[in-house]
Amino acid sequence: MGFLAFGIVLILALAIGFAVQFYTKTALRYEWLVIALAFAFGAYFASETVPGSTVPVLDAITNWGPEFDGMLVIPAIVGAVLLAIVTYFGVHTGEYARTA
């Protein structure tokens, strides 16, 4: 993944983090940062590892979609969104467990 693609991922991650912080009323001040880091890591990790996977089921798939500056777009989007959603629910589950 090149610098341009990684920069775009970081900008999108911060935008998603701020949007989640703005639209969800929570007592956590740094929820945006946790979700932004999860989004960025998910995008980077999925883009770099999914195409080189040795899982037999995935051997038949040769086209991983469009590529931009060394980043495979579809695995990056799927990985980022999945990890951000899991992090969002994890943060909120932990928050409600503390306040209960």
Quickly state the pLDDT bin for 39 (edges 50, 70, 90).
very high
The domain total for the chain is 1
Q: Convert the pLDDT of each residue in 44-60 to its tens digit.
A: 988 888 766 556 665 55
* Integer Cα distance of 97 and 92 in angstroms: 8
pLDDT surpassing 70 at residue 74: yes
CA geometry: angle 26, 6, 91, nearest 5 deg: 20
Supply the range of the domain harboring residue 47: 3-99
pLDDT surpassing 80 at residue 14: yes
